[in-house]
Structure 1
Amino acid sequence: MDDVTRASVTLADVAAHAGVSLATASRALNGSARTVKPDLHARVAASAQTLGYVVNAQAQAVAKGASQTVALVLGDIADPYFAGIAAGVIAAARRRHLTVTMATTGSDAADERATVAALRAQRPRAIVLAGSRQIDRGEENLLDRELADFQARGGRVSFVGEGARAGDPAARVVDVRNRRGGRDVAVALVDLGYRDFVVLAGSPLLLTPSERTAGFLEGAASVGRPVAPDAVLTGPFSRDGGHTMMADLLAGGRRPDCVFAVTDVMAVGAMAAIREYGLRPGADIAVAGFDDIPMLQDVHPELTTVRLPLAAIGERALEIALADDPSGLAEGIVGAVVLRESTPGI
């Protein structure tokens, strides 16, 4: 039977061929809480094979209450940070013979809510939210309503990021210690001799960059090198955001000892801006980032950063979502400071 003919075969055709009701054929092929007698099940399966009927995955999801998919909501798949987490989720899903549906929402809270609502209709086993959470709890509360309904129907939810569900002990969270990483890299940079810092802090509306910024400020202050408020610059949480903030800084005549960007892609943008002004990253202005994304192996000078096991974070995010008892997966993830050529020391 050719592909066109196969595509036209319906469940009603299978039921008629097997001599059973449409409901029986649906229960046999799509799954159901109500079982089908073995002889009828075999008859329906044989008819489906003879006619070339392809099972409707959406119908299976409705019958079983969940599909063989999991949903992953990201900030931006083009960002290597999110790509690394996605790789981990996909690897964990493959081990469970599940398929991953991915959606990107940037930092738009309304878009994230709409995306979650659309994904709920597909009845995934779990939804993993890897984008940075919003500082504004009002926005988060609206999302909570969508997720609560999904969970009430048997779905599972997990989050990536420190403080992603502060105050909710039942939430399933991969606790990435962003604040701790910010503190550690600040102390390490002061130990190298740097005294005059500028922080490219990203968006103040997002939790992840805010935690990393707060940690850096705490760390610098703890070793006697507080960062002035006007040295904390905000802007888009992206490569272009880092470039623009750095270019504006240099255009204003400011040349700090060291620039800390709250994500590596922002640091890469800052390094490009430094070169455009005829200066040398690492030699004239030291630069540090956060994440240790894979593309850093092609960046020169090699970038000092806080290394996070991104793929492992993605794997744990799915595991903690699907686990019957997630308590054993609740240990926080602490990044490791990696000192490289971009901060040679003074």
Structure 2
Amino acid sequence: MVRTNSSPRLIDVAHASGVSIATASRALSGTPGVSDSVAEKVRQAARELGYVANLHARSLASGSTATIGLVVHEIGDPYFSEIASGVLSLAAEHGRTVQICHTGRDPEAEVEQVRSLVANRVGAILIAGSGFVDASVEAPMRFEVQRYAEAGGRVAVVGRHHLGVDSVLPDNRPGGRAVAEHILGLGHRRIVVVSGSLELTTVADRLEGVRDALDAAGLDAGDVPVLEGPFTREGGRECIRRMLADHPRTTAVIALNDDMAIGCLSQLRSSGVSVPGEVSVSGFDDVAVAQDLSPGLTTVRLPMAEMGARALTLALKEPGSRARRQRVPAELVVRDSTGPAAR
């Protein structure tokens, strides 16, 4: 084996010996559950690579503070602020403080924020927000959280990820189907979907639910335009401008989060299009402001504060032998922003 100039890492030892990172860690630490032959193979690879255990990371985890690290995609999005409120409330009950980091849905920034939290010796890390459809995008994050967990740290996520840690999973696909069935039940057939990046698992799952409903109704999902934009209010406004230009006969908009739906309502109002008289609009999440809009927003309700609290509860528990998953149901909430299709 040839040693590179950079310091070898645990993942290098694992690859060289043909085992998982977790097995390599157990073999080098003498933890039971690894055969003598495999343990010796891992130790031999470590010697040849010149690997030295990351005692600093272990000391950070074992000497951690009472602070919880919370990583969110967009702190200005009510979805994340409501998740954060659940985390903050439960953390206070346990005498812990919360350090919140914002990533802007940038996977590289997300990794850097986690590294910073580890360096600040947080006792647990929560990651709230969508994972990425392509598992390779999350490979650097998976390495960081697994190394932190192996050193004694606790990690839990909200949303579908490829990180192999405890997770709270909202019923995004059933929710997408429910809201699309509602729109179809009102007689709408000229429908546009307004979505965030299709690279996000949350978007992919909600969109799949919409397509499930279209297929069940005997419609070709490929005939329904999907307008992709930033998962924000401005993204919703931008998508409506494109819809009015390219799909002017649309009678219903299914936005895949409330922030985009609010932007849709704003742009339709500015463009003189009545809701729901000419175009119905629905969202997803049921953020606190959704019921106070005019018209009130039809959406899919997720218990966001509860989701944040559940994630923290998982992180505070002793780790299980396998990653734990808790599903959270979605509920359709019908308000005044949807109505029968215009004739």
Q: Report the TM-score, using the length of structure 2 for normalisation.
A: 0.78
1:184 counterpart = 2:178: yes
Query: Per-residue deviation at 1:165?
Result: 3.2
Task: Give the corresponding residue for 1:88.
Answer: 86
Task: Give the corresponding residue for 2:338.
Answer: 343
Give the number of aligned pairs: 282
Q: 1:259 aligns with which of 243, 253, 257?
A: 253
Greater Cα shift, 226-235 or 201-210: 226-235
Change (3 A) 1:111 1:329: closer
State whether residues 281 and 342 of structure 1, in contact with CA within 8 Å, keep that contact through their aligned partners in structure 2: yes
Query: Per-residue deviation at 1:63?
Result: 9.6
Task: Give the corresponding residue for 2:97.
Answer: 99
State whether residues 61 and 123 of structure 2, in contact with CA within 8 Å, keep that contact through their aligned partners in structure 1: no
Larger-gyration structure (1/2): 1
Specify the SS of the correspondent of 1:157: strand
Looking at structure 2, the residues matched to 63 and 86 of structure 1 have their Cα atoms a distance apart, in angstroms, of 23
Task: Give the corresponding residue for 1:125.
Answer: 123
State whether residues 300 and 332 of structure 2, in contact with CA within 8 Å, keep that contact through their aligned partners in structure 1: yes
1:164 counterpart = 2:161: yes
Percent of aligned pairs sharing the same letter: 37
Specify the SS of the correspondent of 2:221: coil
Query: Per-residue deviation at 1:344?
Result: 1.9
Cα offsets for 1:180-216 (capped at 9, x unmatched): 1101111122122222210002111211112111111
Task: Give the corresponding residue for 2:114.
Answer: 116
Alignment of 1:305-320 (within 5 A): 305-320=299-314
State whether residues 198 and 227 of structure 1, in contact with CA within 8 Å, keep that contact through their aligned partners in structure 2: no
Query: Per-residue deviation at 1:135?
Result: 1.9
Looking at structure 2, the residues matched to 114 and 63 of structure 1 have their Cα atoms a distance apart, in angstroms, of 17
State whether residues 195 and 226 of structure 2, in contact with CA within 8 Å, keep that contact through their aligned partners in structure 1: yes
Looking at structure 1, the residues matched to 123 and 85 of structure 2 have their Cα atoms a distance apart, in angstroms, of 18
Specify the SS of the correspondent of 1:138: helix
Alignment of 1:197-236 (within 5 A): 197-229=191-223, 231-236=225-230
Query: Per-residue deviation at 1:159?
Result: 0.8
Q: 1:269 aligns with which of 263, 270, 281?
A: 263
Looking at structure 2, the residues matched to 204 and 155 of structure 1 have their Cα atoms a distance apart, in angstroms, of 31
State whether residues 74 and 129 of structure 1, in contact with CA within 8 Å, keep that contact through their aligned partners in structure 2: yes
Alignment of 1:143-162 (within 5 A): 143-161=141-159
Query: Per-residue deviation at 1:64?
Result: 5.3
* Runs of 5+ consecutive residues of structure 2 not aligned to the other structure: 1-58
The residue identity in structure 2 corresponding to 1:109 is P
Change (3 A) 1:147 1:284: same
Looking at structure 2, the residues matched to 340 and 204 of structure 1 have their Cα atoms a distance apart, in angstroms, of 27
Greater Cα shift, 70-79 or 246-255: 246-255
1:332 counterpart = 2:327: yes
| RMSD over aligned Cα atoms | 2.0
Looking at structure 2, the residues matched to 229 and 135 of structure 1 have their Cα atoms a distance apart, in angstroms, of 23
Query: Per-residue deviation at 1:224?
Result: 2.1
Looking at structure 2, the residues matched to 63 and 165 of structure 1 have their Cα atoms a distance apart, in angstroms, of 23
Query: Per-residue deviation at 1:253?
Result: 5.0
The residue identity in structure 1 corresponding to 2:304 is L
1:301 counterpart = 2:299: no
Task: Give the corresponding residue for 1:26.
Answer: none
State whether residues 68 and 97 of structure 2, in contact with CA within 8 Å, keep that contact through their aligned partners in structure 1: yes
The residue identity in structure 2 corresponding to 1:81 is Y
Task: Give the corresponding residue for 1:323.
Answer: 317
State whether residues 132 and 138 of structure 2, in contact with CA within 8 Å, keep that contact through their aligned partners in structure 1: yes
* Runs of 5+ consecutive residues of structure 1 not aligned to the other structure: 1-60
The residue identity in structure 1 corresponding to 2:101 is A
Q: Report the TM-score, using the length of structure 1 for normalisation.
A: 0.77
Cα offsets for 1:10-48 (capped at 9, x unmatched): xxxxxxxxxxxxxxxxxxxxxxxxxxxxxxxxxxxxxxx
